[in-house]
Structures are given as structure tokens and as C-alpha cells.
Amino acid sequence: MKFFLFFGLFLLSINGFAKDPNFYVFLCFGQSNMEGNARIEAQDTLVDSRFQVLEATDCANLGRTKGKWYPAVPPLCRCKTGLTPADYFGRTLVANLPEKVKIGIINVAIGGCKIELFDKDNYQSYLATAPQWMLNMVKDYDGNPYGRLVEMAKLAQKDGVIKGILIHQGESNTNDTLWTKKVKLVYDNLMKDLKLKPKKVPLLAGELVSADQGGACASMNAIIGTLPKVIPNSYVISSTGCPAAKDHLHFLAEGYRTLGKRYAIQMLSLLGYPVADIK
């Protein structure tokens, strides 16, 4: 008995702390809709302490330090971004999972970027022709958003278990028939770099502003819809009926809340929870 106690303490000491199997971590990446475009409203500022965000940048204005966990009060991306699908994805999970389960989000996104920005082998050539305003945002991730996502994910793996990946991207790749293959490359790299098993880590991809909302890039949804043919463990989240902003590219806060809940409903189904009982 003493041996097992000693061995357990030894393992704890070399790991710093024990990984919590009930701390579910989700990686989020993409462009402006994942970054968060809608104004944060009063109702969005109250959050259950079981929902956490791993800050991916230093945000003095929020009192947050890169690589530390905080209650998931928006903004969840960078220091001055807005509401995202990740906000109500996490809230819906917390509301429907057992009390012992915590949810952690890591959100790395860059407005206006193509999926090529997350290609770890070719992102530098993409940035070579990127506009200065985009380069200014990329600087927050030391010039490598994919690298920062992996860096934060590895930290999170010390605390919990990565259960899934969320992407909302495609406006800047509209009508790019190779988009699904490019997404698969990013997904495969994440699996390798984080030592994850594709069968255990689903990819949830949200549609862009839909045609029923006058979506400027709605034609891309047909391509996004083919993603499960390329990545077997991937699922497309419908944006139909999600209210959009006047630019027809971004969602209103109400739209982000609805879309985030839809991401969560899909994830809850994959986790084995009855969709009919979702709160």
C-alpha cells in the first residue's frame, strides 16, 4: 500500500499535477467569425465557473496572461475581439453535462485570413503577401497562429483532455474547391503534433452566413458540406436562420449564440447525451 502511495506521489511530482479526465478541452480556430465580430452584451458577461478559457495572448486590459486559465467571460479570442460561437458552445455544454465536467476553450483566430494561414509548413509564404492590418493581428501570436494554437493545446493537455476541434473559416476561401483538403492538412497536423487519435477527436465546422440571411459567401457552404467526405470524423453545423449583420459576412450576437448552441448540440450527441433534452 505504501509503495502505491509513493508511486502515485512520484507520478504527481513529475507531472506537476494530475490531468483531470473530466476537464474537456476544445480547440477553436478560423477567421473573423471565430475571432468574434459581434458586440458583447450584458447577458454574455455572466458565465459558470466550470467554463474556462486558456488565454492565448497577453491581455493587460483583461488582466489575463498568456497560458493561464480564466473564467470564460468574453472576449475569448484576443484582447479586444467580440462574441464568438465558442461562447455559447461552452455555455451549452456546461449546462448539459454532469457537474463534475469542466469545459476549456482555446481560441486562435485571425479575421480575413485564408485557411493557408494555419498550414504550418507554408504559412510564411502566405504572410509574405498579407496586408499590414492582418500582420498586426498575427503579431499577437508571435507571427505563427498555428504554432500558438499547438503551444496552448500542449499546456492544456497537462490539465485536461482534448475532446474536439471547432473551425469557422471559409469566407476568404470562397469557391476554393481544394478547401476541404487544406482543412484536412491542418487537422492531420494537429493530430500528429498533439498525439491525438482522429477517431476520438471530431472536427466541427460551421457554415458561413447562409443564403436565407443574404450571406455574401453562402455559396461556400456547399463546399463546407463536403468536409465529412474528406475527414470522416467531421460534422457540419448549419447556420440557417442565424441572424446576420448588415455586411452579410458576420453574425449578430443572436446569431453567434444560436450557432454556438448548434455546435454544442452536435458535440453533446457525439458524447452520448440525448439531444432532445438539451437546455
Which residue in the block uniquely carries the three cell numbers 475569448? 76
Residue 65 phi, psi dihedral angles, 5° rounding: -115, 140
Contact indicator for 240, 225 with CB cutoff of 8 Å:
no
Q: Is the dihedral of CA 183, 31, 244, 214 positive or negative?
A: negative
Q: Which residues pair with 24 in a beta bridge?
A: 103, 161
d(CA 221, CA 175): 9
Dihedral sign computed on CA atoms, order 89, 90, 95, 101: positive
d(CA 173, CA 11): 46
Give CA separation, 152 vs 38, 66, 106, in Å: 25, 9, 7
**Alpha carbon distance 268, 93 (integer Å):** 7
Beta bridge partner(s), residue 27: 106, 165
Specify the 3-state DSSP secondary structure of 63: coil
Q: Which residues are catalytic?
A: 32, 247, 250
